[in-house]
Structure formats: C-alpha cells, structure tokens
Amino acid sequence: MTSDAARRVWSPSNAVPPPPPPKRPSAPPGPPGGPPPDAQPTGFASRLSLRTRVGALAALGVGLAVTLTALAAYLTVSSQLQSSVDENLLARARSAVSTTLGDPNQLATVPGAAIVATDVRIALLQANGTAIVARGTDTSPPMGDTEVEVALAESPQSVRTADLRGDRYRVVAVPAQPGFALVLAQSTEQTEEVLDRLRLVSFIAGGVGIVLATWAGLSIARAGLRPVRQLTQAAEHVAATGQLEPIEVTGSDEIARLAHAFNAMLAALSEARLRQSRLVADAGHELRTPLTSMRTNLDLLAQSEASGGLAAADRTQLIADTRAQAVELSTLVGDLVELSREDPPAASREQVDVADVVRDALSRVRRRAPGVVFSADLQSWIVPGDATQLGRAATNLLDNAAKFSPPHGTVTVTLHDGVLDVCDEGPGIADEDLPRVFDRFYRSSAARGLPGSGLGLAIVKAAAERHGGSVEAGRSPSGGARLTMRLPAASSAALD
C-alpha cells in the first residue's frame, strides 16, 4: 500500500539505469586570478587619457610646424638682409673710389667728423699695410690681411665681419688707385637689431601657435571623444546596475556602429539571461515533483517505523521506489544540464536496439497511465548510441501521448526502419503550434492546465539530433497528435 501511494506521487518503480556522472567542464587554462595572457605592458603614454594624448599630439605637430616655419623665415630674412647690406656697402665703396675719398692725397684732408656722420668708417689701405684715413676724428675701419690682398690686387674685393674695440662691423674692400684698396666698414648694429626683433617675433608667434594648437587639439579631442565617453558611461551603467537597456545611438559614424554593436551584444546578453532564468525556473518546477515524491516515501518509511515497522516486503519495495526516484532525479538533472548547455557532450556509445528501448519505456508509461491502451508494433532497429538518452526520448513521447489521450484512448506505437511513430487519439496539436512544440519550455495554451514544463519534446529533439536523427510533429489518422522520431542505423553524425 505504501509503495502504491508513493507511485501515485511519482512515476516509475523500474529505475532507468543511472546516467554516467555529468562531465565537469575542464578547468580554464592558466591560474585563476592570474594576469590575462594578452595583457599589454603599460607605458607612460597609455597612462595618459586619450584626450590628453590627442591634445599633446596636435600641440607637438603644430609646434614642430611653427618652429620649422619660423626657423626657415628667420634664416631667409637674415641672409637676404645680410646680402642687401653687403651689396649696398660694396656699391657705396665703388662709387667712393671715384670721389675725393678714393684719392690718397685728398682723403687725408677730409674731416673725419663728416664721415662719422654718414655712419661709415673709411680708409685707403696700401699694399704695404699702411692706411690713409680722414683728418681729425678716428674713422679707420678694421683692416687686416683680407683687405691687403685687395690692395695687392690678389682678390677683386672682400667682404667680412670684424670686431673693432668691442663693436662689430661689416667690412668691404674694393680696389682704388693702383696699390690701394678702399676699405669701407659699417656697424652691424642695425642689422642685428632687426634680426633680434625677428627672432623675438618668431619666438612669440611660435609660442602662441603651440598654446593655440594645444587648446585646439584638446577641444577637438574633447568634442570628438564625447560619443566614446557616452558609450563608456552607458557600459559602466550596465555593469553597475545589471540593467541591459540599449543605449541611444545618433549618427552613422564609427562610434555609432560601435554603439549598435554594443546594443546587439546587450540584446544577446539579455536573451541569454532570459533563457537562463526560464531554464532555472522550469528546472525548479520539474525537480519539485520527484523531490516531493521522495519526501513522501521517506515520511511513510519514518511513520511506519514509529508505528511498529513495515512488513519486510513493503519496506524493500518502498526503498526500491525511493532509490528509483533518486535515479530518475539525477537523470533529470543530467538532462537539464545537457539542455542548458550549447555544446552537446559526447554521448556514451553502444549498440542499442531501439525496439528494446521503446519496450522499456512502454512498460514504464503503461504503469503510470493504466487508463490508456498502448498498441505497439516494434521492429528491431540497432543504432550506435546512448540507451539512456533514447529511453528518455521515447518515454517523453509516450508520456505526452498518455497525458493528452482521452480515457481509454489508444496510443499506437510503431517502429519500422528506424522511424518511431507515436499516434494518439487526443486533441492533437494545433497547426500554429506544430513548428514550436520542440522549443524548450514551449507549451500550447491548451496544455497549460496539465502538468509539465515544456521540456519533454526539447529533450526528444536533442536526443534525436545527437543520434544524427530528426523529429517531426503532425496529425494522426484519428485526428490526434502524431510524433515521429527518425534514427539512422549507422549514424556517423553526432556521435562520432
């Protein structure tokens, strides 16, 4: 009596052989918490923010351009200025040769004060090195071998810069009367002043340019990286709150594409999360029934022990039932784990006669559905495969047929050439439900009032596909449901 009570709560007393222990996924390579294998070394540049780096790069680029431009301008202007000063000085020297200044007899009579007023120094240099200068104020220019060479007619003219008592002069020498060179010198002070000013202006312009470039670089970087900042904030928001809400996308540039990709990832993640939570919820529901059944059996055992004990046969039966339920439970857990993972584990491979498997399933289902008639026509069909998986698939098909059959309805089971057909006389499956009944957790609205979680046919489909086969739902000749599972004899597909 106790075992009957137990069976009413939960199904088979004949245990399905225990499934192989579920394989644990192999540990990920590398020590946990160790550095990621592709960790990049962090340098100074990578410690700076992207914005600072873009700004610094712009400043560097513009600064370099400004510096080179200023340098080129300075060199060009200074050489132009120098050559125009030189030409001017040479022209003045040549024209002075034909005046009184070029005559050695007359130069000595010219007052030096008059020459100083014209901002030049002048002398007639003889080939022997002696010079004739103006009278009075000292107006003699710096003179040396270079100028003597011109007096000796060894060189046509000379131009150089020389120091005289701490001042710098540009000194030119042109031939005058034979044996004489007219030496003319002009202070470089004015030229240097102009060049100093040019240097200062270039320096200020360069500095301002660099500051402006830094500012512009930082502003451009800030504006350009704003969408990146928004995307980062959105990702941080998701990470902090766990809410997988899509972020707003504007424009169609690279950042917008990144945002679209991010949204697609969020959608996939939320879909996976939804699937997982549904699996957990339904798994909980599925597991509750056998657990309740086991608890009832154990309660019965405890109560009967307290009230003087059970007959030995009943006790043995009760314990056997409980063990069978435990086995069923672990099989169920194994199936749920299998269903929940994306990659199918390699099933244990053996030669299985599908007819035997269906016969076992039939005997189990007959016991728990005594009001339904089962008519079976099974031909032997050997497949390489996993008897446990195939047994669960057949049981699920027969359970469904029994569940949806009217009282005393007939379930017809045939197995011919690897095609297992289960037909019943129930309401059948509505056309719109046909493509979806093999989905995990799918249950038609008509079936919601009946027990079940919508995993049964998903397990059938997974088992068939892992044996290289397929499943199909249709209508039976009597108008009920017809579920077909095809299993190829020597499948090389899924089990290899």
**Which residues make up the interface to ligand ATP (CB under 6 A)?**
396, 400-401, 404, 424, 426-429, 437, 442-444, 447, 452-458, 481
Least distance (Å) from ligand ATP to the CB of residue 331? 14
Residue closer to ligand ATP (CB basis): 357 or 447: 447
Binding site partner of 401, from Mg ion, ligand ATP, none, Cβ cut-off 5-8 A by kind = ligand ATP
Of 3-11, 116-124, 299-307, 449-457, the window that binds Mg ion (rule: CB under 5 A) is: 449-457
Cα–chain center distance at 368: 55
Least distance (Å) from ligand ATP to the CB of residue 455? 4
Binding site partner of 143, from Mg ion, ligand ATP, none, Cβ cut-off 5-8 A by kind = none
Figure out which of the listed residues 456, 468, 469, 480 binds Mg ion, where binding follows CB under 5 A.
456
Residue closer to ligand ATP (CB basis): 9 or 90: 9
- CA gap 86, 191 in Å, rounded: 11
Residue closer to Mg ion (CB basis): 7 or 461: 461
Least distance (Å) from ligand ATP to the CB of residue 406? 11
Of 18-26, 56-64, 369-377, 447-455, the window that binds Mg ion (rule: CB under 5 A) is: 447-455
Asked if residue 400 binds Mg ion (CB under 5 A), the reply is: yes
Binding site partner of 455, from Mg ion, ligand ATP, none, Cβ cut-off 5-8 A by kind = ligand ATP
Residue closer to ligand ATP (CB basis): 329 or 437: 437
Binding site partner of 481, from ligand ATP, Mg ion, none, Cβ cut-off 5-8 A by kind = ligand ATP
Binding site partner of 171, from ligand ATP, Mg ion, none, Cβ cut-off 5-8 A by kind = none
Least distance (Å) from Mg ion to the CB of residue 224? 58
Least distance (Å) from Mg ion to the CB of residue 399? 5
String marking each residue 284-323 x if it binds Mg ion according to CB under 5 A: ----------------------------------------
Residue closer to ligand ATP (CB basis): 388 or 400: 400
Residue closer to ligand ATP (CB basis): 231 or 437: 437
Residue closer to Mg ion (CB basis): 210 or 429: 429
Question: 168-171 long-range contacts, Cβ below 8 Å, gap at least 24?
Answer: 168/192, 169/121, 169/141, 169/142, 170/85, 170/86, 170/89, 171/141, 171/142, 171/143, 171/146, 171/147
Least distance (Å) from ligand ATP to the CB of residue 430? 8
Binding site partner of 386, from ligand ATP, Mg ion, none, Cβ cut-off 5-8 A by kind = none
Least distance (Å) from ligand ATP to the CB of residue 366? 16
Residue closer to Mg ion (CB basis): 381 or 404: 404
Least distance (Å) from Mg ion to the CB of residue 397? 8
Least distance (Å) from ligand ATP to the CB of residue 450? 7
Residue closer to Mg ion (CB basis): 81 or 333: 333
Q: Of 245-284, which residues contact Mg ion (CB under 5 A)?
A: none
Least distance (Å) from ligand ATP to the CB of residue 452? 2
Per-residue 3-state assignment (H helix, E strand, C coil) for the chain: CHHHHHHHHCCCCCCCCCCCCCCCCCCCCCCCCCCCCCCCCCCHHHHCCHHHHHHHHHHHHHHHHHHHHHHHHHHHHHHHHHHHHHHHHHHHHHHHHCCHHHCHHHHCCCEHHHHHHCCEEEEEEECCCCEECCECCCCCCCCCHHHHHHHCCCCCCEEEEEEECCEEEEEEEEECCCCEEEEEEEECHHHHHHHHHHHHHHHHHHHHHHHHHHHHHHHHHHHHCHHHHHHHHHHHHHHHHCCCCCCCCCCCCHHHHHHHHHHHHHHHHHHHHHHHHHHHHHHHHHHHHHHHHHHHHHHHHHHHHHCCCCCHHHHHHHHHHHHHHHHHHHHHHHHHHHHHCCCCCCCCCEEEEHHHHHHHHHHHHHHHCCCCEEEEEECCCEEEECHHHHHHHHHHHHHHHHHHCCCCCEEEEEEECCEEEEECCCCCCCHHHHHHCCCCCCCCHHHCCCCCCCCHHHHHHHHHHHCCCEEEEEECCCCCEEEEEECCCCCCCCCC
Q: How far apart are the first and last CA of the chain?
A: 47
Can you give the binding site for Mg ion, defined by CB under 5 A? 400, 452, 456
